[in-house]
Structure 1
C-alpha cells in the first residue's frame, strides 16, 4: 500500500502534519485499546499494523542494562567538565548506540529516561552521582546539551526521545516514597523548577518522570505543577512517565488515596500519561483505569489526552515512517570515535583540587607507588552499561610510565577466617568460571552475581586468604585470591562468584559483629549470618563464630611501597553500589576510616603523596598535609588512562567542582530540609568556609584576566573580559560569571552563576570572552506579587575562576521595579508566601491544588510576612484553617493582638473553616503568625 492509495489511512501519510496523523490514529483506536496504551508496555494493535512499544530506556551516561556499551563518566563527572558542547557530543554518541543496539535487539527502547536534573543540593544524597550540579544554571546547560545530543538535530524526526528525571525536589533516598519536601514558592521558582524549565524550553525534551517523593504534602505523581508549570513551557506534547511502582505507592505506601481507581484517575488527570507499574504486566493498570471510567472518575477524553501525547512521541521517533526516518540506519556502536570521546570526557572531568609546590605533573622518570582500594578498579554504578573495555588507574600508569617505574599495593587487609573447630573458610578448587561475556569478550558484571554453577565455600586446614575491603560504616567485601567477590545466591550458599558488587540488592557486602570472643559474619543482602554446613558455607538465622586472622594489614603494604617511591598516588573513594546509591543515602562526608589510615600511612612514609579521589560525591578530607589532590567521578571505561595522562601532564586538568565541598558534617543542614534560602544551603547562600568552593579547579597553566566591560541593553546585560594564558603549556580555563544584587530587599544569593565558558588557550594566547545575560535571569520570585520581579538597583558582576576566586568586578545599575508592600487588605496573605519561617512545613491545601502551612512537628511554628500594607486601617482578621490548634497574630514583633483557636478538630485535613477576631491596624507592618498545635493555615484575610 502506498501513501497515494485511497485505502491508506491518514496516519500512514508522511505528507500530513504529525498532529493530524495522531488524531487519525487515535480516532481508530477502541477505548480498550487506548486504555492498554497507558501502561509502560504497550501491546500491538495488529488490526492497524501498530507495533508494540514501551517507554523507558536508561541511558544516564551510556546505554544501561542492555549489555556491553560505551561507558562514559558518571553524570556528576560530566557536570564537572563544565563543557556543554562536549556533553552534547556524548549525548549524540549515546543516542547512536541506542539506535544501533535497537537494530539488533527490540528490547532497547527509544524513549530514554535521562538525564537526571535534580539539583545536588545535599552531598549526602545517595544518588549524587546522577545529577550534574548544585546550581540550576549549570545543571540546565549540561542537561540541555545532553538532551540535544540524544534528540539529534533533524528538524522533524528525533534520534531518541529524552525524559527528564525526577520531577520535583527529589534529593533524598531516606523514606523517599513517603517523605515530603517542603518547598517555599521562592525556592520552587528560583531553584527547583529552574533546572527543568531551561531544558524544556530548549526544545529537546520529550517529557519528564515524576519523583517518588511528595512535595508540600502532595505526591509528585498528582502534582498540579505538571499542568501549572511544565506544560506551559512548550507547545510540544510532553510525555509524563511515572517512576517504577509509584502509581501503586499512592495507595500502598503513601495512603494518599483509598483505592487504586481513585489514585490512577488522579494521576492521569494531573498529567501522568504512562504508568510504570507491575513490570511487564499491564493488566492491573488497565483494570484500574477501566474501574475509574466505570465510576465516572475518568472520561474517554481524559484517556485520549494521555494517549495523544504518547503517540506524538512515537511519530517524532519515526516509527510510522521507517523509510523516511533519518536515524534508522545511522546507529554507531563502540566506534573509535566513541572510545576517543569517552577518554576525552574522562580527562575533562578531572578536577585538580590542590597542587602545592608544583608536585604535579610528574616527570617521565618518576618512580610511582600507586596504592589504595580503587587503584586497580574501574567501577560501574547502577545506571552503567557493561564494560566493553576498561582502564584502571594502575593500568593507566603502567601504560604511561612503564610497569618498571610503578609499584602497586592495594592496601586492603589480607585475612583468613577460622572457625571454632580450627578449620578455615576456603574457596574450593574449580575451573575458571565461564563468566558472562559481551562483545569482544568483555565481562558483563550484571550477570555474575547470584550464580549457582560454582561450588560454595567450604573449610579446610589452611583455608583461603581473602582481601577484606572496609568501605566504612562497618560494611565490607571479601574477595577470593582469584579476584572474585564472595556473594550469596538465592539458594543461600556463599560462593566466590561476583566480578564486582552490584544488583538492586547487593549480595556481596558483609559486616563483622563482635561475638563470644570472635565475630559473626552478617550478610547484609539477606540480613542472615554465615555458617558452615555439611553441604557448604551458607547463610542462616544463626551463624558461626569466626576468628579473623590477619595475614597482612593494608597500612603495612602501603608504607612498604611508599617508602621507596619518588611519589605516592593514593587512589581512594567509593564503590557506587555501597554506602550511597539509589535507595541509600550517605551518613557522613568522611572518608572510610580504613582509607584514612592508608592515607596517613602513605604520608608518614613519603610526604610527596598525591590523593586521587575517585568518587560519586564529595568528601570532607584533610588536605592540609597533602601537597596535591585531585577528584574525578567514576570515569567510565577510560578512567585510568585519563587519570594517568593528567598526572603525567599530557593533559592540563580543567574540570571544575559542580557542587560545594563542605569541610565537615556540621556544615550540612538536615537532609530533608529543602529550604536552601532559610537554611543557607549550597554556594548560593552558604556563609561558612567550604573545603573547596563551587566552581573550584586548578590548572597546570596560569591565566590572567583583564577588563571587564559591561553595558545594559534593552533586554540583557553584556559582559566582556580578556583572558590570557600566562603559563608554559596549552590548557583550558573555565571563565565563570556571577552576579549579586547589592541592595536586595529580600535575602538573595551571595553570588549566583549567570554564565560560563570553557576555552582552550596556548601559551601566551589571549581570548576575548563575552556573555549576554537576559535581564530576567537577575530577577527573583516576589511572593508579594506571585510573579517574577527584577528589582531596581545596583548589581555586581563577578568574573573569575570559581565562585570564590574572583578576578574582576564591575557594577551595573538596572532599572527594575522598586519594592512594594503587600496589599493585604485587598488580597490577604496566602499562608505559604512567607518571608521567613521557623519550624514550619508547607502541606497540601487540597489533594488537587494549593498550599497550606503547619508546624513541621505538630507543635509550633513561626511565620513572618514583611511590609504588609493595611492602608487606612482594618478592624478584623480572618484565618482559613483546618485541623486543630491556635493561630496567634502580632505586628512588628510585638505582643499577640489576636489568637484564633480551633477548639474541636475539623472533619479532616482538607475540611477548612474560617475563624475571625478583631484586629486594629493601619499603615505598613510586618505580620508575625504563631501556629500552635497541628493546625493547617491556608490563608489570612483582613477587612475594615
Structure 2
C-alpha cells in the first residue's frame, strides 16, 4: 500500500511519512520510488487501458477483461480512460492503491472537450467568440465538473490548425490561424489546469495532436499528411509551443499521421528534439488510441515488438490501448535493445504529473467529497454556457437589416433542427446527457416570439450515440408542403438547417459539405414562398452556402452551441444580444476551392491579368472565399480611421480609432494583420498578429493600440530557426482579414 511504501521510504530518508509526503523535493521522491520499482511495474506506469468493466459491480471473470483487472491489482497499469463517476473512479483506484505492491495511484483521463456535464459550444464555435477570457472560463468550468466526477486528466485541448472543413475534427479546434490558435490553446490549458494543479478541482490538460493531424489529405480523417517544414514551424507548431512555454501544459498526445514519412508516434524529432529538449517540456506524452500499433499498418514497424522499440526510443511515454509496451517493453530492456534510462525517463514523467496532481498525498482527493457532484449543471455554469454561446454566433449576412426580428411579426420557424434537443450538444459531449439542450423552439417560447413551427425535412441519423455512423442522404420531403404553406402566411421565416451533432467530429469527414440530404431543396422552396427568410445554420464546420449567400437576405452561423443553444440563438435573432462573433475559419465557395485560407503564399503569377489566362485562378470561380477569416457582422456599424504607426526601441506601436456608427451598442473584434513583402523565406500575404475585442455604445469611439515586437515580426526558416529580418512591413487593421485600412514601416534592428 502507498502508506506502507512511504513509511519504508521515510525510514530510508530519516523522516516521517507525513513529512516525506509534504516535502517539495518531488524529484527526490521519484528517484526513491524508481529505485524500488521492478521493470514490470515501470512498464505498467506507461500502460493505459480504457474502461473494461463495471467498476462498482463484480470483478470480470475470464479472458482479457479479467487479465486487465488483475494487472491493475498488480501495479501494471498506470492510467485508465473512460472511467467516470466518483464511485467508479474510487473502485478502480482502490485496486491500484490498496492491492498493488507499491500502491502507486492511477491517473484517470477522459475526453472533456467542450464541457463535461454542462455542454458548451464546440471549440470551433467558441473560437468564433475571439474572447480569450470566456474561453478560459469555459475550460475552467469543464475542469471543475470533470474533477467532481473523479477525473483528473482531459485529452484536450486539440490545437491542430486545419484549412480543410471536410475534415470532421475542425469542430474540435480553433480554425486555420496559428496566432489565434496559440492564444486559445493557452487559454484552454490555463482553464483546465488552473493556478494550482494539486487543487481538487483542476485537471491536467493534453495538447494534441503532435503534429500535422489537421493537414490530412483530402480532409479524410486518419489519412496521410504532407507539408513542408516552413508550414510545420510557422503554422502547425505555434499553438503547441505556446501551450508549453506560456501555460506549462502537463501532457501531450502524438498524432496518427506521418511527418516526412515517419509516423508521429515514432518521431524523435517531434517528441524529443522539439517538445522535450528545445521547448523544455517536462510532462509526459501519451500516444493516441492504438497509434503505436498502427505504425505497423503505416509500414514503419515490422511488428508489435518493433513498434514498441520505435515508440519508446522516439519519446512516446505512455501507450494508450495498443498493448505494445505491456507485451514487449520489458523484453526489449532485458535484451539490451532499449536502455533502462529511456524507460526511467518516461516513468519519471508520468510519476511527476501524478505528484503534481496531489495523488501521492491523497489518491482519493478527487472522490472524497460527496457534495462535489452538486455543482454539475449548476445555474451558474449554465449562465456562463449561455454567455459563451451568444458570443460564438456569427452574423454572416443581413441585407436590408432583415434582422433582428421585430415585435408583432408573425414568424414561421421551420426545420427539424429547430426542435432538436440533441444536435446542439455537438460531438465529444463528454458526460452530457442526450436530448437535454434547449431547442430553438423552446427559446422562441421562452422569449415570447409569435411563431408557427413546421419540421420541413428531417436530418436522419443512425442509432444514437458515439460511434454509430450518420446517414446523411435522406430523401424525405413529406413536410415540404406544410413548411411552404407556413412560410407564405408569415411575415418572416426563420429556417434552421445544417448538420446533426454527429455529422462532424472524429471519423466524420465529408466529401460534400453542402446542406445534408434534401435541406437545400427545402431552403429553395421556402425562400421562393417567402423571400423574407433568415437562414440559421447549425454545423460543426464551415458549409458551402453559395446559393444561400446569393439569394437569402440574412444568414446566421450558429454552430453547435451546447446546452443553451436555443436561448442563445433566440437572443441574437430578436436583438436582445447584438452578435459580435468572427469566423475562425474561411468559408469556401465550393468544395473545389479547398483548401482556401487567408494567409496563403503569393505565387509567381498572382494576377489578376485582364484578358489573360496564364495566372493562378479558376475559370469558373473567384480565388477568394465566400466569407473571409475574421468576418462577422453586427446590428450596428463600425468605422476604422486614423491609423498611426510609431517606432520606438524594440517595438512598433500601431493605433487606430474605432467608432460605433450605429444606433445600438455593439462589440467589435479589431484585427491587425502584418505582411513582410520581401524576406529570405516567402511570407504569407497577411498574418494575424493582434486582436482586441471592444464594446462601444452608439456614437462612442476609442483608440485601439497594438504592439509589434520580434515575436510578431519574425518567422521560422525551413530548419526551425527563428529569424527577424530588417526591411519594409505592411500593416492592415479592420474587422476581418480583408481589412483595407493600411500603412507601412521600415524595421531595423540596428
1:409 and 1:202, CA in 2 relative to 1: closer, same or farther beyond 3 A?
A: same
Match of 1:299 in 2: 339
Alignment partner of 1:14 is 2:50: no
The correspondence for 2:492, drawn from 567, 592, 595, is: 567
Match of 1:790?
A: 724
State how 1:139-538 maps to structure 2 within 5 Å.
Answer: 139-154=181-196, 159-171=202-214, 172=216, 179-223=223-267, 224-232=269-277, 234-251=279-296, 253-278=297-322, 285-322=325-362, 332-378=375-421, 379=423, 380-385=425-430, 386-387=432-433, 389-402=436-449, 405-412=450-457, 469=458, 476-477=460-461, 501-506=464-469, 509=471
Q: Is it true that 1:809 corresponds to 2:733 in the alignment?
A: no
Q: Structure 2: how far apart are the matches of 1:216 and 1:186? A: 13
CA distance in 1, matches of 2:190, 2:391: 20
Alpha-carbon shift at residue 387 of structure 1 (Å): 3.3
Query: Match for residue 742 of structure 1?
Result: 677
Tell me by how many angstroms 1:152 deviates. Answer: 0.6
Instruction: Tell me, yes or no, if structure 1 residue 652 matches structure 2 residue 652.
Output: no
Map 1:888-899 onto structure 2 (within 5 A): none
TM-score (norm 2): 0.83
Cross-structure match for 2:63: none
Q: Distance in 2 between matches of 1:688 and 1:654?
A: 26
Match of 2:537 in 1: 613
Distance 1:327 1:572, change over 3 A: same
Q: CA deviation at 1:588?
A: 2.1
> CA offsets, 1:713-756, max 9 Å, x none?
44332222232222222221111111101334543211110011
Gaps (5+ residues) in structure 1? 64-68, 103-108, 413-468, 478-486, 488-497, 513-547, 818-944
1:247-286 per-position Cα deviation (integer Å, ceiling 9, x unaligned): 11112x22311131221121111111110015xxx6x632
Give the equivalent residue in structure 2 for 1:495: none
1:353 alignment partner, SS class: strand
Identify which range, 262-271 or 24-33, moves more after superposition. 24-33
In the other structure, the counterpart of 2:559 is 633
Distance 1:188 1:743, change over 3 A: same
Counterpart CA distance in 2 for 1:620 and 1:553 is 25
Once the two structures are superposed, what CA deviation does each residue of 1:382-422 show, in whole Å capped at 9, x if it has no partner? Answer: 411323842111211122134xx21111112xxxxxxxxxx
Deviation of residue 764 (structure 1)? 3.0
Q: Distance in 2 between matches of 1:670 and 1:797?
A: 22
For the structure 1 residues 9 and 595, does the alpha-carbon distance in structure 2 shift closer, same or farther, using more than 3 Å as the test? same
Q: What is the CA-CA distance between 1:183 and the residue it aligns to?
A: 2.0
Aligned residues of 2:275 and 2:281 also touching (Cα < 8 A) = no
Distance 2:102 2:489 in 1: 71
**Cα distance in 2 between the residues matched to 1:221 and 1:323:** 30
Match of 1:23 in 2: 31
- Name the CA distance, whole Å, in 2 between partners of 1:302 and 1:8: 32
**1:937 — aligned with what?**
none
CA contact (8 A) 2:587 2:627 kept: yes
Matched with 1:722 is: 657
TM-aligned CA deviation for residue 563 of structure 1: 0.6
Structure 1 Cα separation of the partners of residues 173 and 717 of structure 2 = 28
Change (3 A) 1:47 1:394: closer
Q: Indicate if the aligned counterparts of 1:277 and 1:285 stay in contact, CA closer than 8 A.
A: no
Give the structure 1 partner of residue 141 of structure 2: 93
1:680 shift after superposition: 12
Mapped to 2, the partners of 1:591 and 1:629 lie a distance apart of: 14
Distance 2:532 2:447 in 1: 20
Q: Which stretch shows the higher mean deviation, 607-616 or 18-27?
A: 18-27
CA distance in 1, matches of 2:507, 2:210: 17
Q: Which runs of 5+ in 2 are unaligned?
A: 50-76, 79-95, 607-615
C-alpha change, 1:747 and 1:74, in structure 2 (3 Å) is: same
Aligned partner (choices 587, 590, 594) of residue 518 of structure 2: 594
| 1:510-909 correspondence runs (5 A) | 553-578=478-503, 580-592=504-516, 594-621=518-545, 622=547, 623-669=549-595, 688-744=623-679, 746-783=681-718, 787-806=721-740, 808-815=741-748
1:219 is displaced (CA, Å) by 0.2
After superposition, the Cα gap between the structure-2 partners of 1:48 and 1:731, relative to the gap in structure 1 and judged at 3 Å, is: farther
State the Cα distance separating 1:326 from its structure 2 match. Answer: 11
- Could you say which residue in structure 1 is the equivalent of 2:120? 72
Cα distance in structure 1, aligned partners of 2:439 and 2:170: 22
Cα deviation, residue 200, structure 1: 1.6
Matched residue SS, 1:705: strand
- The 1:676–1:376 alpha-carbon spacing in structure 2 relative to 1, beyond 3 Å, is farther
Tell me how far apart the structure 1 counterparts of residues 415 and 493 of structure 2 sit (CA, whole Å): 10
Residues 293, 304 of structure 2: 8 Å contact kept: yes
CA distance in 2, matches of 1:665, 1:656: 22
Q: Kindly indicate whether residue 144 of structure 2 is the aligned counterpart of residue 111 of structure 1.
A: no
Provide the C-alpha distance between the structure 1 equivalents of 2:359 and 2:399, rounded to a whole number of angstroms.
57
Change (3 A) 1:323 1:722: farther
- Partner of 1:637, secondary structure, is coil
Counterpart Cα distance in 2 of 1:366 and 1:76: 33
What CA deviation, in whole Å up to 9, does each residue of 1:516-551 have, x standing for no partner? xxxxxxxxxxxxxxxxxxxxxxxxxxxxxxxx9x8x
Distance 2:109 2:605 in 1: 37
Look up the match of 1:848.
none
CA contact (8 A) 2:675 2:683 kept: yes
The 1:133–1:764 alpha-carbon spacing in structure 2 relative to 1, beyond 3 Å, is same
Q: 1:732 to 1:670 in 2, by over 3 A?
A: closer
Q: Is the contact between residue 420 and residue 439 of structure 2 (CA under 8 Å) also seen in structure 1? A: yes
Q: Kindly tell me: are residues 677 and 91 of structure 1, through their superposed partners in 2, closer, same or farther at Cα, counting changes over 3 Å? A: farther
Relative to structure 1, is the Cα distance of residues 786 and 194 closer, same or farther in structure 2, using a 3 angstrom cutoff? closer
Contact 2:426 2:561 in 1 (8 A): no
Aligned-residue Cα RMSD (Å) equals 3.1
Q: Is the 8 A contact 2:155 2:207 kept in 1?
A: yes
TM-fit CA distance, 1:55: 5.1
Distance 1:762 1:151, change over 3 A: same
Change in Cα spacing, 1:791 to 1:327, as seen in structure 2 (3 Å) is farther
| Pairwise CA distance, 1:120 | 2.3
Deviations along 1:27-85, whole A, 9 cap, x unmatched? 2222221111110142526566534414531111012xxxxx10000010011111110
Hey, what's the Cα distance between the residues in 2 that align with 1:13 and 1:263?
A: 37
Task: Mark the structure with the bigger radius of gyration.
Answer: 1
Shift of 1:791: 2.5
1:157 deviation in Å? 5.3
Quick one: structure 1 residues 300 and 782, their matched pair in 2 at CA, closer, same or farther if it must change by over 3 Å?
A: closer
Paired residue total = 671
